[in-house]
Amino acid sequence: MGTFLRRRLGWTLLWGYGFLVVAFLLTPLIVLISMSFSSTGQLTFPPIGFSLKWYPLATQVQGLVGSFGLSLVLALLTAVLSSGLGTVASLALARHRFPGKSLVMAFFLSPLIFPSIVIGVALLQFYRLTRFDDVFTTLLLAHIIVTIPYTVRTVTASLEVFDYSLLDAARVLGADTLKTFAEVMLPIIKPGVFSGGVFAFLISFDNYTVSMFLTDAKNITLPIRIFDYAEFAIDPTIAAISTVMILTSVLMFVVSGKLIGVKELAKF
């Protein structure tokens, strides 16, 4: 009986601790979302009254819709390209042994080590020296650089548990290299590839530190537009815009869970 009670108490404490952690993480979001429904023109909590007027007003903020579209397209392209490049890099690192392999892996993961502001300044100086001035392309390359460590890590995690004898069996049955990858390997490592893409999308969509060095007057991403607006006006419009960003991220996870499965995504 004593062992049962101790075990029951342990599980209760564990669940209680987990609940407190989740509540600590979600409380700021709940406060922010609730303020977007306030009927007053100030950010107050608890909100006074209830109104949805700030959401249509948010679309009237100069340049906001264009910035949202830019960030969305940028994040989608970053997710696709970062997943593809990360998968190729992970396959090379997992399948082959060569001198300096650990250095190559460290190179791909280095954006996780360096502060984002350092990466932003370095890319700004590099683009100026090379006279590369296509702003959208520079932003896309920068976002791929800062997100590729996540795709490399998730795909590498999938490859570590992959049974490579399946590839040999497929070749014996007559499948070529491309067909073996597409029909044998990719379905198995797909959760890792998709998880990396989800991380890349979210990081790109929310990126401010690197993007602020590379934007111009015509290409302003959504996070930078929000900060610029907040510099001159603090009202529930900011909360409404932030709520839309949160819902976009949540929607991305919901779609990912439907396509891949929540349990598979949770592994990474």
HEC states along the chain? CHHHHHHHHHHHHHHHHHHHHHHHHHHHHHHHHHHCCCCCCCCCCCCCCCCCCHHHHHCCCCCHHHHHHHHHHHHHHHHHHHHHHHHHHHHHHHHCCCCCHHHHHHHHHHHHCCCHHHHHHHHHHHHHHHCCCCHHHHHHHHHHHHHHHHHHHHHHHHHHCCCCHHHHHHHHCCCCHHHHHHHHHHHHHHHHHHHHHHHHHHHHHCCCCCHHHCCCCCCCCHHHHHHHHHCCCCCHHHHHHHHHHHHHHHHHHHHHHHHCCHHHHHCC
Across 259-263, average pLDDT:
56
Q: How far apart are CA 145 and CA 74, in angstroms?
A: 13
pLDDT tens-place string over residues 7-49: 777 778 888 888 888 888 888 888 888 887 877 777 777 777 7
Please, which pLDDT band fits residue 196 given cuts at 50, 70 and 90? Answer: confident
Please, which pLDDT band fits residue 209 given cuts at 50, 70 and 90? Answer: confident
Report whether pLDDT(264) > 60.
no
CA 263 to mean position of chain CA atoms: 18
- Amino acid identity of residue 150, one-letter, is Y
CATH of domain 62-266: 1.10.3720.10
Selection from 105, 222, 225 nearest residue 157 by Cα? 105
The half-sphere exposure of 118 on its side-chain side, counting CA atoms within 13 A, is 6
Across 184-206, average pLDDT:
82
Average of per-residue pLDDT values in the chain: 79
Greater model confidence, 13 or 3: 13
**2-35 and 236-259 are packed helices; what angle lies between their axes, rounded to 10 degrees?**
130
Please, which pLDDT band fits residue 259 given cuts at 50, 70 and 90? Answer: low
Please, which pLDDT band fits residue 261 given cuts at 50, 70 and 90? Answer: low
Task: Determine the Cα angle at 155 with ends 26 and 207, to 5°.
Answer: 45
* pLDDT (0 to 100) of residue 46: 76
* pLDDT (0 to 100) of residue 116: 82
Residue pair 192/158 in contact (Cβ under 8 Å)? The answer is yes
Please state whether 98 falls in left (phi above 0), alpha (psi between -120 and 50) or beta: beta
pLDDT tens-place string over residues 128-153: 888 887 888 888 888 998 888 888 88
Q: How far apart are CA 247 and CA 202, in angstroms?
A: 12
Q: Is the pTM of this model over 0.85?
A: no
pLDDT tens-place string over residues 52-82: 777 787 777 777 788 888 888 998 899 899 8
Q: How far apart are CA 157 and CA 193, in angstroms?
A: 10
Count other C-beta atoms under 10 Å from residue 82's C-beta: 28
Across 161-189, average pLDDT:
74
pLDDT tens-place string over residues 75-130: 889 989 988 888 888 888 777 776 777 787 777 788 888 888 888 888 888 888 88
* Segments making up each domain of the chain, as ranges: 62-266
Q: How far apart are CA 159 and CA 156, in angstroms?
A: 5
Q: How far apart are CA 211 and CA 124, in angstroms?
A: 10
pLDDT tens-place string over residues 227-250: 887 777 777 777 888 888 788 777
